[in-house]
Structure 1
Amino acid sequence: MDTLSLPLLNKDDPRFQLKVENRLKNIFVTQIEDHGKEEGENVKHIPVITESSNRILKTGVNTLQRTLVLKTQVRLDEVNRQLIQKRLEFNDRMQALEQRRAALLEKQAEIKERAMKFEKFVEENEVKRQRALKKYQQEKKENELREVEKSKLHEELEQFQIRHQQLKGRVDKYKIYEKYMMKILDLLPEAYSEYGSDSLVMPIIRRHETLSITQQDLLQRLTSLTEELHQGQCNLDSLKLEHSTNRLMSNKELSELRTQWDQIREKNEQMEMTLYNHHDQSRNQIEEIGCLLLAVKNIAQQCHLQHYGPLHEMDSLTMMDMIKEFILETLDTERRALQITDSSSESTKSRRHRGRKGPALTVNSSSKVNLKSSSKTSQNELLSSSKTM
């Protein structure tokens, strides 16, 4: 919204100039001075102003109302001028913004169009890629099939070439016969073909046919014989292998049986040695038993007691019982004799104390000597008999 512009004022107009005459010297008092100082004659004291300038202009006594209006008018003109300038600047900026917005919209539209074109281009490229990929796969399969066909055709070509070489060799082989026949035909007379079947060529042809048939038969027999030979060779190899395995198994069994035979022989030798040892031990035992029996008989003859009966009717146990009884009786007799000798020695001692000497002492001493000698002889006999045993 536009505002009404005020008329411009001329600052050089004398009406708008403020003239103030003040002949006195104005002094602003800021500090309180002493009253003892002298004041000048031409000095006018002005009190300190504490109010604002607007307040002074509004309420000042010496300020004219017209001057205030003019100043306000000047300020208003300045503000209007600045406002107009700002509006012009704002309009320029708005126009620039509109231009930039239009350019931005055009650019956005262009970018959208380019994006749509690019998306369309990408879709077309994707379709082309899929199409090219399918075409590549189809061509790859076709190439593989063609390679297989090519390999088959190459093999057939090689077979045909081999067959061609074989046929060429056969042609070269039989060409000499053709040359020979042509030479024969050249040498034959002109009317030779009139003879027909009685000519000399037919037997040769028939002979050739028979020879070819026999050759085929021989070839068949040769192939059958080679197959039989191969089969026989295979059978021979299998028989050789079986024979070698059987021989190995038999050698293994033979070695096992030989080891068993060696073990059994060692056991037999050990058993024979133990048997010989047992025989030796039994023979020694028999000899010892015989010696013992002889010793028992000898001792029984020396220790014979009448109540046991004759000696040749006794067995070994009875003889040993008799010897035992005899030894016990002898020991008992010796013990009694020793007791008697002890008692007699005590009596002789008592008699010696009494001073008596008589024939009884001699009798006792002689009996004691006889008993000791008999006991010693019996002991010596027993020791000798035990040594002989």
Structure 2
Amino acid sequence: MTTSSLPVLESSDPRLKLTVENRIRNIFVTQSQDTSKRKEENVNHIPVVTETPSRVLEAGVNTLQKTLVLKKQAELDEVDQQLTLKRREFKNCVETLARRRSELEIRQHQTEERAIKFEKFVAENEAKRHRALTTYEAARELNISKQRGIEDLTEQLKQLRARHEVLKERMAKYKIYEDYLMKTLDYLPNIYLDNGSESLVMPIIRRHETLSITHRELLQRLGRLEEEVEQGQRHLPIMKQDHSIKKLMANKELSELQSELETLKEKNKKAEVNLLMEQGLCREKVKEVGCLLMAINNLAEQCYLAAYGPLENMNMLTMMDMVKEYILDKADTERRVRRLMESGSAMTSKTALTEKREKGSMKSIGSKTQIKSSSKVSRKSETMS
């Protein structure tokens, strides 16, 4: 929302000047002219304002409405000036902020580029480090192999020097024999040396060569055997460790199998005990069944009925049916006998009751007659009195 700025008034504007008439006196018109010569007493002179409006406003005197308007206009102009200054400051701040934002964007872009470059640098350094480590490992392995080769060569050199010393001592030892042989050759004739020297010396030389070759082969074989022994000694602790591990595993399996064996033995013992108990129960059951069969046979012999045929051809069920039928017949006959006995006892009890009733009736009749006779006697005595 834009605000319309008021026009700025300058100090040279004629509208800001206050024009006042130069009155000499403040008198009434009704007065005569003679009074003009009198002393001017009690006359209010209005001063003429010749100063600028801003100066008048700064003086702070009692002014008119127009002067107040001018004062407000001046204040408004001052506020407009301050507003323009604030707008300029705000515009400058916005420009500085935009400039800073652009600078920050540029710096951010630069930092991103630096970060990308740094990441590339780190990746390159990591690759270089990896390559350097690989080259270092290769060089270290090469140095180790060379060091081992140097150690082997020094060992061989020591052995050769020792062999050289031994051969030197041996040559010094056999120097006497060489001198002796050379002296003997000097004393031998030339014909003997030309004819038979080659035939005597060459077999010895060939024998020496064969012996040296076999000695060399034996030394090589000895070296191979020593290497095999060293390898066997290196593998010996590993084999011992494997053997101990296998032994522990075997002991563990053996303990598990022993525990399983003990559990199986306990189960077998329990099964044997159960079997013996079942066998005892079976024996008892067999005995009971035998006793039952003997009892059934005895009952069948005692309760034999001819309607079922001979006793030898009957099975157990028919025997039991026969015994059942016999017992039912006996029970039926016993029931009938009891009924007959109960009916006879009932008849006897009825006759006894009738006899008792007859005796009681006779006694009651006699007592009644006695009572009647006594009543008659009492009545007669009363009448007599």
TM-score range, shorter chain: 0.3 to 0.5
Q: Quick check: which has more Rg, 1 or 2? A: 1
What TM-score results when the alignment is normalised by the length of structure 2? 0.36
